[in-house]
A and B are shown apart, each in its own frame.
Chain A
Amino acid sequence: MVKHLLEVSSVDIFYGDAQAVWDVSFCVDQEQIVALVGANGAGKSTLLDTISCIIRPSRGEVLFQGKPINHVRPEEVAELGISHVPEGRGLFSRMTVLENLELGGFPRRTRPFFEESLARAFDMFPVLKKRIHQRAGSLSGGEQQMLAIARAVMAKPVLLMLDEPSLGLAPVIVKLMFEIIQALNREGVTILLVEQNVHQTLEIANHAYVLKTGRMELSGKGSELLRNPDFKQAYLGMKG
């Protein structure tokens, strides 16, 4: 039986008394790039937070590598192989680039490979090597995003989740970001991507799920959705 790497199954998610997600199910298979797209407030970030166990679903389950992770604590997911780059990146801006990367290698599973992972990070993001002892807060937006991704990759994740990596970045940098995401995927990292930048996301996604106000609206292969006229009007028209 082919197991999905990640399976989100009929989840309802609440913030206090306010429901944010209704009966959402989707899955991510090994070595895919899967996208969650939709407008602000659609519940995309909420779903990522639920997968990384920051929030618990009030109904339904999340299965990673076939095992439920409903009762796992957020600080345990990195050790399991899930790296989550939250919206806003969550960098330690008062600490240096190197220190941020070192902390990326915190999970015990990854510590034997630390030197090797660090070298790979600098290979993939040479600009970080130039700024190695600079405070993370002093980097440009694009550099910070690269640092956030590089830090997440230090944990040698099986599943890398990125929440709005293109937010606030210049188009040239966004293009670079998507190339990096594809490069990581070619190395075997499964990617779950949340984005408002729909067009470029669908160009690289194997599969995409469209969310609207907390509900699953559409799903399909990235390329198919891009050709779907209704989808194009509803979602790409929006992009302008």
Chain B
Amino acid sequence: MAAFLQILVNGVLFGSMYGVAAIGLSLIFGTMQIIFIAQGAMMILAAYITYWVFTLTSVDPFFCFVLIIPIFLGIGWVFYTGLFSRVAAAGKNPSLLLAFGLMILLENLMSLAWTANTRAVTTSYTGMGLTVGNIQISFTRLVVFLISLLATGLVFFFMKKTLWGKAVRAASENIKAAALLGISPRRVSGITFSIGIALAGIAGVATATTYPFDPYFGFVFSLKALIAVAFGGIGSVGGAMFGGILLGVIESVSSYTISGGWADAISYGAFLLVLMFRPQGLFGRSAAS
């Protein structure tokens, strides 16, 4: 029983990273109507920044959470205004291709610049953990989990309580009607894209502090984030986080009960099941939208 709880806890802590990236994906999909497949690549970029900041300056990698947010908000804005907004008029397929191209470009640039060797951030406290009852909780993963919850809370607050957050929700539901109220589709897409990229950044810093990574990790992470969104449903911030945690738990349980290799197969299997029987996810909008 204790072992099972341990697996559960591990899954929840790890899954919260998927959740953060998934919220970003969900937001971007809400206004731009595309799956931003480069989300994982952006995460890995943030992971590399964390790695290099730590390696070169010995500054605590957790400091990168603070550093990355404004940088990635800025990168998101630049990518949107420089790339995606220009392609938006041409439709969804060009936007999808652009995201795909961006992913390939980033992965290969990172590989060129920093080699494809696996990197990991090891600090003085990397191996440390807390023991609660019979359960070991890795310190880094706990911090990451708390930060993920904080990020989720902030996004949720933004969407529910601020005027622009409501504008984003409105535009995600009906972009034409929102425009008639004075809400610029371009502005709204720019805002959600920036937030989405910033969330990828947070997930990336989290990855760097808890897991070894390489430039090509990004694609798998994008897939996992997508699965999390499928579980939780598009349009729900809490749902995306829940989906991420659910995925983390599924992977953790599968890894333990069957084997590591099967964990992926089972995750993708669950993904297929959800798509077949509940495509709107657990908390998402109805299938009609």
Contact = CB atoms under 8 A, between A and B. Distances in A.
A126 to B, nearest CB: 23
Interface stretch (A90-98, A170-178, A188-196, A201-209): A90-98
A90 B184 CA distance: 16
Contacts, number: 70
11 contacts: A54-B179, A75-B180, A75-B185, A78-B182, A79-B182, A92-B178, A95-B169, A95-B173, A99-B166, A106-B167, A155-B181
Nearest to A54: B176
Given A75-B185, A106-B181, A92 B173 contact: yes
Interface in A117-171: 151, 155
Contacts of B181: 78, 103-104, 106-107, 151, 155
A220 B58 CA distance: 81
Contacts of B78: none
B165 to A, nearest CB: 10
A52 interface: yes
A78 B166 CA distance: 17
B92 interface: no
A103 B180 contact: no
A75 B183 contact: yes
B163 to A, nearest CB: 7
Contact of A52 (B167, B169, B180): B180
A92 B181 CA distance: 11
Contacts of A94: 169, 173, 235, 285
Q: Is the interface of B mostly helix, strand, loop or mixed?
A: helix
Interface residues of A, number: 26
B180 A78 contact: yes
A106 B177 contact: no
A77 B180 CA distance: 7
Interface string B145-180: 000000000000000000100110110011011111
B289 to A, nearest CB: 9
A75 B169 CA distance: 16
Contacts of A86: 176-177, 180
A84 interface: yes
A74 interface: yes
